[in-house]
Amino acid sequence: MKLVRDDPARPDPGFAELYARLPDATDLWPWLDWSKQAGAPVLYLGVGAGRLAVPLHAAGIELVGVDSHPGMLAHLRRRLSGLELIRSRIEDLRLDRRFELVMVPSNILFTRARLERAAAHLAADGRLAFELANPHWLRAGAGTGVRIASMGERSARLEIDYPLPDGEVYTQQARFALVWPEQLEGWLSRSGLALQRMLGWPDRDLAGSPTFYGLAGKVSRGAVLDA
């Protein structure tokens, strides 16, 4: 078992090695649907080694990728040499561009600083699409391969196992703030955003979904994007 951590301030080479060895995503919901409804390009925060970005690119989605991990970006550049990639922590991102869609999968948009920088890159009619860990699922005991080291109302520490096809297992040590679904509207509104949709996994109700998805727009916009 190899222990790895996601630490934007001190990137762990093993974390990039893990993600470079994971198979590409085959289920692109909801990111592909939402990306198709937005003007190009889509800003992808936390683009990683490309397990989602590569199949989205193959499906015709033009992306601008941002990640803080040099190893992740190096691997993705080898796979997609023409993709525009930017090395930056989300909370430090300052692009002189605005996007119709900013997408943030994989439970990394859990701090106020990251949320505000993501919102700052939205066009006037743009939308922010994100995925967050579901505290209700964690409180219920989580699932196989997920161990809860500690959990309170505001944060959690987990160990998450990633078994690879060759039998090797990586274990990610993760610590993050919790955003509860019932508090999501207030959490977004403090950054000038209005919740438009909140979804669990397609085959689960919201309470039983390991993660949940949100779609938000600037407060001044009232239209809702079709799912």
User: Domain of 198: which CATH number?
Assistant: 3.40.50.150
**Full-model pTM:** 0.94
**Spatial contact of 170 and 162, defined as CB atoms under 8 Å apart:** yes
Distance CA 176, CA 221 (A): 30
| Counted domains in the chain | 1
Taking the C-alpha atoms of residue 8 and residue 12, their distance in angstroms, rounded to an integer, is: 8
In a domain, 152, yes or no: no
Would you say residue 24 lies in a domain? yes
Give CA–CA dist 209/200, Å, rounded. 5
| Amino acid in position 150 | S
The predicted structure's pLDDT at residue 227? 40
Q: What is the CA radius of gyration of the chain?
A: 17
Could you read off the pLDDT tens digit of each residue along the chain, which spans 227 residues?
Answer: 899 999 999 999 999 999 999 999 999 999 999 999 999 999 999 999 999 999 999 999 999 999 999 999 999 999 999 999 999 999 999 999 999 999 999 999 999 999 999 999 999 999 999 999 999 999 999 999 999 999 999 999 999 999 998 999 999 999 999 999 999 999 999 999 999 999 999 988 888 999 999 999 998 744 444 44
154 within a domain of the structure (yes/no): no
Does 173 map to a domain? no
Domain assignment present for 170: no
Residue 206 is predicted with a pLDDT of 87
Domain assignment present for 120 = yes
Domain presence at residue 32: yes
Domain residues for the domain of 68 are 11-134+180-218
Starting from the edge strand earliest in sequence, which strands make up the sheet with 84-87, in order?
Answer: 84-87, 63-67, 42-45, 99-104, 122-133, 211-218, 193-199
The total of other beta-carbon atoms located within 10 Å of residue 145's CB is 12
